[in-house]
Structure 1
Amino acid sequence: MTLHDRVAEVTGRLQQRSKAKRSVYLERIRRAGEEGPRRSTLSCGNLAHGFAACGLSDKAALKGGEVANLAIVTAYNDMLSAHQPFERFPEVIKQAARDAGGVAQVAAGVPAMCDGVTQGQPGMELSLFSRDVIAMSAAVGLSHNMFDAVVFLGVCDKIVPGLMIAALSFGHLPAIFVPAGPMTSGMANDEKARIRQLYAEGKIGRDELLEAESQSYHGPGTCTFYGTANSNQMLMEIMGLHLPGASFVNPNTPLRDALTVEATKRALAITALGNAYTPIGEMIDERAIVNGVVGLHATGGSTNHAMHLVAMAAAAGIDLTWQDLSDLSDVVPLLCRIYPNGLADVNHFQAAGGMGFLISELLDAGFLHGDVTTVWGQGLDLYRQEPKLGDDGAVTWQAGASKSHDEAVLAPVAQAFSPNGGLKMLTGDLGQAVIKVSAVKPERHVIEAPAVIFHSQDALMDAFKAGQLEKDFIAVVRFQGPQAIGMPELHKLTPPLGVLQDRGFKVALVTDGRMSGASGKVPAAIHVTPEAAAGGPIARLRDGDMLRLDAVAGRLSVVGVPPEVWQAREVVTEDLSASHFGLGRELFAPFRAAAGTADLGAHVFGAGL
C-alpha cells in the first residue's frame, strides 16, 4: 500500500529538520558501539565487582566474556498495581537467559509513582519530573558498562517515557520493553463515571465512592481505561519495541510468562555478539516516531504524549513538533472507542482484535511506515500477528484477526469512528496549547465565554462547591506549568466541570498544567506555553475577559480586548513557595529552574537532548 501523502510529507520534513542533530546522535552511538560494551574493557577489579554477587555459573560465564549479559532495568514496586507483577520477572528473565546461553543482571531499579494515587495531592507536583529522574536512574545503572542489551520493565505514565529517554541515551545497546499487562476488567467504566459525578454533586458519600473505585481498580495489572499507561503500551508495540501482540496480555498468566521468556531470548539474539545486532538508537528513527504518533491518533491516546513523544524523539536526535502531531491528527482516522472515548476497556480492545488488527488496518490504508526495523525483525508486517500458547508452553504466533470482533470498540478504517484523531494544536493570543476532542461532542468544539481565573485547582473546587460557577465560563487555571509547580495533572477537575456542562452551561478549561491521559468530555486547552510563571500571555488574563476556544480552526483567542490594551497589561505574578516545600518538593527546585517548555517536551536536560 502506498504511504499516505500527509504521512510522507510530515516524515520528510521531520527528517530534514532533524538531519543535523540526528547525524551527530548516530555518530555518537556508533562510536559507543565500536568501543564496547564488552567486559574485556573493564579492569579485573572492575569486573570482579560487577559479578561478585552472581551465582557460580553466571560468574563463570561473565569471566569468559563471550556470552551476552542482559541488563534488567525494573520499575517494580508492590504499591502500584501495574508494576507489582514485575516482582517475579527478574528471576524468570535470569533463568531464560541461562537457558539460552546468556546472563541477566538487575542493573537498576527506577522509581515509579502512581498518578492515580497523587491526583489532586501535593505529590502530583513531582509526577512529570519523575520521568526525567527515571531516565537518570536507569542511566546510572547502565553506566557500569557491563551489558550487551537491556530489558526494560515498566508500564505507567512517566515510567515508559523515562525508560525510553534512557534507552536512547544508550542507543548503541539493543533494548526490549517487557510489559506486565492490564488487570482484568472490573466495574464498567460508564458506571464508574456516573458514581464519580454523583459524588461531585454531593448526592453520595465517600464510602460509596471508595467502594466503586475499589471495584474498578481491584487487582494486579495496569488500570484498564485508555490513559497514558495503556497509551505507552500501544506506543511500544507500534514502534516495534514489544514483541508482537505483547501489550495487553493479562499478568500472572502462562502466556504472559511465556512472552517474557521469549523477549529475553530475543534480547540475547539482537546483541552485537550475534548476527542480528539491533541497537535501539538506529531502530528508532523518524519513521518509527511517526508510526507512534499515528498510533496515538488512531486510538485516541493520551494528551501527555504531546510532551512525552517530543522528549523521547529528542533523545534520538529527532525534532518532533506539535505541528507535526496536529497535521497527522487531521488525516489519521479514529479506530478505537476505549474509555474515556467510549465505554469499553483495553481488555475489550484486546478481545476485539487488539494491536494486530489495528496495525494491519493502518498498514493497509498507508498510515504506517511498514519498512521499519523492530526488535522482532525487519518490517512492521510482523506485528499483524498475535501470540498464542503452544502445547509445550512456549509462544507461537498466528495471523491476527482479519476483521474486528466488535466494531463498537475497534473499527476498520472504512468504518472509522471519526476521520481524524482528535488531537489538535491551538495557537493565538495565549501562545500554544493542545486539545483532545475525541471524547468531546462536536457541538462543544467551539466555546466562547468569559474567563474565570484560578491559581490552583483547589480554588476552582471551592468555587464550584460554593455555587459560584453556575454560568457559562472558561476556567483558566494558571501557574501550573513545569517551571511553576512541576505541571501536575488537573484530572480531579473533570467531574465538577462535567457536572456544570451537563447542567447546560458552556464550559471549558484553559491551563498551563496537564490533564490526565483520560482527558474526557469537557473541552480543555492544556499545556499552554509560554506558561504563566515564565511571563506568558496567560498571565495577562483577567476575570471576565471573553475567550474563544476553537478546536475546529485551531485557535485560542482573547476576544474584544484591543491589542494595545492587551500588550500594555501587567503580567500577574504569584507566590508559589507553598508548593515548593513538603513531600520532597524542595528537592526538585533545580528541576523547576531547568524545565523546558511543554512544546519541547518539558524535560530538564536542555542541550543534552
Structure 2
Amino acid sequence: MSDSRIAECHPVVRQVTERLTERSRESRQAYLDMIQQAVSRGPVRSGLSCTNLAHDYAAAPDHDKLILRSSERGANIAIVSAYNDVLSAHAPYQHYPDIIKTTLAQQGHVAQLAAGVPAMCDGVTQGQDGMELSLFSRDVIAMSTAIGLSHQVFDGMLMLGICDKIVPGLLMAALRFGHLPAVFVPAGPMPSGISNAEKAKTRQAHAAGELDDDALLASEMASYHSPGTCTFYGTANSNQMLVEMLGLQLPGSSFVNPNDPLRLPLTRYAAQQVAAITALQPGFMPVGQMIDERSIVNAVVGLLATGGSTNHSIHLIAIARMAGIRLNWQDMADLSNVVPLLARVYPNGSADINAFQRSGGMPLLMRELAGAGLLHQNVNTILGAGLEHYFNEPYLDAEQRLQWRPAAAESSDLTVLAAAHAPFMREGGMKLVSGNLGRAIMKVSAVPDDRWLVEAPARVFTDQHQVLAAYKAGELHRDVVVVVKQQGPKANGMPELHKLTPALTNLQDAGFRVALVTDGRLSGASGKVPAAIHVSPEACAGGLIGVINDGDILRLDGHSGELTVLTPGFSEREFQVPQPGPSLGLGRELFQVFRNNVSSAEQGAISIDF
C-alpha cells in the first residue's frame, strides 16, 4: 500500500472536484453567506427574549436551568431522534437521549430532545401501498428536523438516525442549519442471523411456488431477529458508510453492534465531541463549512468502492444541493470509471456487514482509498482538519477507556475487503447508461460482467404486481426486458420495486437473458439482475419510456453505457403524457403536493427545493 500521507490525488478525482466546484461557485457562495450571517459567537439563545427563553427552560431540571441562564461556556445541544419500535435499527435509540444528557451534564452542558422525526421501515412497506410515501419521507424528515431546530436555542446538534431515508433527511436539514456543528450517532448492526445467500434462496423458492408462506416467514425472522440494523449492504448501511466518509461520525463507529462494549463509550464520546466544536469553543466547526465539494466527492468514492445503494444516486444529489453543491450523475459516472470495488458485502457478495467490520471495516477501507489517491485528505471532520483520524479504529484499553489505534495493516478477509492494488473490480459499482430513453443508473457491482449486456424484446407493465402475475403465468420465461413505467416520483412517489428481484433472478438462473428498465427504484439491496433504474425523464414527465410497447427491442449495455430502444421510428412516436390519478388511502392523498412539485430522479427527486 502506498503511503496515504503523501499520495497525490488521482487526476480524475481532482478533475471532477474542480468541475463540481466551478459549477457550484455561485450557489455555494450564497449558501456560505447565509450560514455566516447565522453564526453566533456566544450562546445562540442569548439573542432571544426573556419570554422566549422562559418557555424553553420551563421543563428543564434546575441544574440545566442554571447552566442555560448563566453560563457562557455551557452549550445547549439539540438531539434529533428517529427512534421508534418498528425499525430494528432504531430501537436501540430508546435510551440514547438519557445517556447523552448525563454525559453532557458532567461537562457543564445541556442537551434537549429537539425533535422526534418520522422513520418508516422500507422492509415493512416493501411491495405495499405505504411504500409510495417512502421517498417523500426523506423531505418530511428534513422539514420535521427544521421545525425542531427553528427554536434557535441550540449550539450544536446530535442526529440519531440510521435507515434508508432518515439519514439523508437529517443530513439535508443539518446542512440548512449549517451554522451549527452536527455529529451523527450510530447504533450499529444486529448480529448475523442466517446467511444472506440462504435468505435469498428461500425467497426465490417461494416466488417459484416451491415453499409456503410459513417457511418464508421462518426464514425472514431468522435473518431479521434482533435490535440493530439489517446486516445486508443496503441503503441503511450505505448511509452509515457515507456519514463516516463525510467525517460526521466517529471513526470506526458505524458497524459496532448495539450490545458491543464499545457502543456506549462511542455514544458518550460523540456527545462530548459535538460540545467541543460549538461556537463557544476554540475548535468551532459548523457543519456547513465542514462539508464542501471535496467531502461530497469522498462520499461518492466511498459509495462506488463499496458497491453501495443505488438510492444514493438520488440522495447524495439532494444532500449536496442543501449545501449549495451541484452534484450530478456525470460526476458519479466519471468517478466510477477509476474507483475500484474493494468490498464484497451482500448483495455484492455472500458476506454481511459484520464480516466487513471484522475484516477491517471503514478505517481500513478509507486508508486504502486514500493511499491510492482516491480521497481528499485535506478535508475538515468533527475531529478536526485532515482525514487521517479516520484511518484509526476504536478499542477499549485495559482500564476500559475508549482509545483509537491504527487500522490493521491488511484485511483479515480478502474475500470481503480487498486491497486497493488488488480490487474485486477495477471500476466502481455504478454505471450511467443513456440513449433514446434518456438517462438511468445501472448497479453493476453484484451483476456478473457477462450479464451486463442484454438485448431482448420488451414486456411492458405499469405496476409491479402485474409483473409478478405474468411471471406466475409463465409469460416471462424467455429472453425479456421487463419495463415497468409510471413508477417515477411524479407518478406515485417512486416506490422501490425490490419485490421483483426473486422472480427476475429465477428467470436469469433458468438461463434467460433478463433485464429490468424502469423509471422507478430498486431496493439498495438489489443488484443481481441487470437493471436500468431511475430512468429520467420519467413517463409522467414526458419521458419516452412511456411509449415503449410490448415487443420493442431494447438494448442495455453496462460496458458501453447504452440504454436504447432499437425499434425503427421509436423516437418519433407521439403519445399523451400519462396523468396519474390521486393516490388515496394510507395517507397517500396528503402527499399529492410532493408529487406535484418533485424534481426528477437525476436532480435528486427533491420536493422542497428553493
TM-score grouping bracket, smaller chain normalisation: over 0.9
| Preserved CA contact (<8 Å) 1:540 1:572 | no
Residue in structure 2 matching 1:566, options 557, 566, 571: 571
Residue in structure 1 matching 2:250, options 226, 243, 262: 243
Residue in structure 1 matching 2:592, options 589, 592, 601: 589
The equivalences for 1:165-176 within 5 A come to: 165-176=172-183
Residue in structure 1 matching 2:167, options 155, 160, 163: 160
Cα distance change of structure 1 residues 444 and 388 upon mapping to structure 2, 3 Å threshold = same
Residue by residue over 1:62-87, the C-alpha shift from the partner in whole angstroms, topping out at 9 and shown as x without a partner, is 11152101000000001110000000
The whole-number CA distance in structure 2 between the counterparts of 1:566 and 1:297 is 33
Residue by residue over 1:408-446, the C-alpha shift from the partner in whole angstroms, topping out at 9 and shown as x without a partner, is 000001110000112011111111100001111111101
Corresponding residue of 1:18:
24
Residue in structure 2 matching 1:531, options 508, 525, 538: 538
Residue by residue over 1:110-139, the C-alpha shift from the partner in whole angstroms, topping out at 9 and shown as x without a partner, is 000000000000000000000000000000
| Preserved CA contact (<8 Å) 1:120 1:490 | yes
Residue in structure 2 matching 1:44, options 32, 50, 55: 50
The whole-number CA distance in structure 2 between the counterparts of 1:35 and 1:369 is 29
Letter in 1 for 2:532: A
1:9 has 2:15 as partner: yes
Residue by residue over 1:380-422, the C-alpha shift from the partner in whole angstroms, topping out at 9 and shown as x without a partner, is 1110100012344331111111100000000001110000112
1:58 has 2:64 as partner: yes
Cα distance change of structure 1 residues 36 and 308 upon mapping to structure 2, 3 Å threshold = farther
The equivalences for 1:290-301 within 5 A come to: 290-301=297-308
**What is the SS of the residue equivalent to 1:469?**
coil
**What is the SS of the residue equivalent to 1:415?**
coil
Residue in structure 1 matching 2:371, options 364, 368, 378: 364
Letter in 1 for 2:588: R
The equivalences for 1:406-421 within 5 A come to: 406-421=413-428
1:278 has 2:285 as partner: yes
| Preserved CA contact (<8 Å) 1:181 1:251 | yes
**What is the SS of the residue equivalent to 2:24?**
helix
- Once the 2 structures are TM-superposed, how far is the Cα of residue 575 of structure 1 from its aligned partner? 4.5
Residue by residue over 1:136-181, the C-alpha shift from the partner in whole angstroms, topping out at 9 and shown as x without a partner, is 0000000000100000000000000000000000000000000010
Letter in 1 for 2:384: G
**What is the SS of the residue equivalent to 1:108?**
strand
| Preserved CA contact (<8 Å) 1:171 1:280 | yes
- Once the 2 structures are TM-superposed, how far is the Cα of residue 341 of structure 1 from its aligned partner? 0.3
| Preserved CA contact (<8 Å) 1:171 1:281 | yes
Residue in structure 2 matching 1:540, options 547, 554, 562: 547
| TM-score, normalisation: structure 1 | 0.98
- Once the 2 structures are TM-superposed, how far is the Cα of residue 560 of structure 1 from its aligned partner? 2.8
**What is the SS of the residue equivalent to 2:263?**
helix
- Once the 2 structures are TM-superposed, how far is the Cα of residue 568 of structure 1 from its aligned partner? 3.5
The whole-number CA distance in structure 1 between the counterparts of 2:258 and 2:244 is 17
Corresponding residue of 1:192:
199
| TM-score, normalisation: structure 2 | 0.98
| Preserved CA contact (<8 Å) 2:308 2:429 | no
Letter in 1 for 2:597: A
Letter in 2 for 1:419: R
Residue in structure 2 matching 1:379, options 377, 386, 395: 386
Aligned residues: 603
- Once the 2 structures are TM-superposed, how far is the Cα of residue 566 of structure 1 from its aligned partner? 3.0
Residue by residue over 1:332-385, the C-alpha shift from the partner in whole angstroms, topping out at 9 and shown as x without a partner, is 000000000000001000000001100110011100000100001111111010
Corresponding residue of 1:449:
456
Corresponding residue of 2:230:
223
| Preserved CA contact (<8 Å) 1:85 1:252 | no
Residue by residue over 1:7-37, the C-alpha shift from the partner in whole angstroms, topping out at 9 and shown as x without a partner, is 0000000000000100000010011104865
Letter in 2 for 1:401: A
Letter in 1 for 2:50: C
The whole-number CA distance in structure 2 between the counterparts of 1:132 and 1:421 is 28
The equivalences for 1:129-144 within 5 A come to: 129-144=136-151
The whole-number CA distance in structure 2 between the counterparts of 1:233 and 1:434 is 22
Residue in structure 2 matching 1:389, options 385, 396, 400: 396
- Once the 2 structures are TM-superposed, how far is the Cα of residue 38 of structure 1 from its aligned partner? 1.7
Corresponding residue of 1:508:
515
Letter in 1 for 2:32: L
**What is the SS of the residue equivalent to 1:560?**
coil
**What is the SS of the residue equivalent to 2:512?**
coil
1:342 has 2:349 as partner: yes
**What is the SS of the residue equivalent to 1:413?**
coil
Gaps of 5+ in 1: none
Corresponding residue of 2:4:
none
1:73 has 2:87 as partner: no
The whole-number CA distance in structure 1 between the counterparts of 2:567 and 2:88 is 50
| Preserved CA contact (<8 Å) 1:330 1:421 | yes
| Preserved CA contact (<8 Å) 1:38 1:65 | no
| Percent of matched pairs sharing the same residue | 57
1:214 has 2:221 as partner: yes
1:469 has 2:466 as partner: no
- Once the 2 structures are TM-superposed, how far is the Cα of residue 262 of structure 1 from its aligned partner? 0.3
Letter in 2 for 1:601: G
- Once the 2 structures are TM-superposed, how far is the Cα of residue 254 of structure 1 from its aligned partner? 2.6
**What is the SS of the residue equivalent to 2:310?**
coil
**What is the SS of the residue equivalent to 2:39?**
helix
Corresponding residue of 2:440:
433
The whole-number CA distance in structure 2 between the counterparts of 1:594 and 1:36 is 39
The whole-number CA distance in structure 1 between the counterparts of 2:235 and 2:43 is 33
| Preserved CA contact (<8 Å) 1:479 1:574 | no
**What is the SS of the residue equivalent to 2:421?**
helix
| Preserved CA contact (<8 Å) 2:360 2:407 | yes
Corresponding residue of 2:3:
none
The whole-number CA distance in structure 2 between the counterparts of 1:313 and 1:166 is 11
**What is the SS of the residue equivalent to 1:248?**
coil
| Preserved CA contact (<8 Å) 2:43 2:75 | no
**What is the SS of the residue equivalent to 1:449?**
strand
The whole-number CA distance in structure 1 between the counterparts of 2:46 and 2:90 is 35
Gaps of 5+ in 2: 1-6
Cα distance change of structure 1 residues 572 and 274 upon mapping to structure 2, 3 Å threshold = closer
Corresponding residue of 1:604:
607
**What is the SS of the residue equivalent to 2:184?**
strand
The whole-number CA distance in structure 1 between the counterparts of 2:460 and 2:394 is 51
Corresponding residue of 2:34:
28
| Preserved CA contact (<8 Å) 2:340 2:427 | yes
Residue by residue over 1:480-535, the C-alpha shift from the partner in whole angstroms, topping out at 9 and shown as x without a partner, is 10110000000000000001111111110000100000122100100011111112
Letter in 1 for 2:51: G
Residue by residue over 1:202-253, the C-alpha shift from the partner in whole angstroms, topping out at 9 and shown as x without a partner, is 1110000000000000000000000000000000101100011110000133
Residue by residue over 1:253-292, the C-alpha shift from the partner in whole angstroms, topping out at 9 and shown as x without a partner, is 3311100100011000000000000000001000000000
Residue in structure 2 matching 1:354, options 354, 357, 361: 361
1:553 has 2:560 as partner: yes
**What is the SS of the residue equivalent to 1:254?**
coil
Corresponding residue of 1:234:
241
| Preserved CA contact (<8 Å) 2:432 2:441 | yes
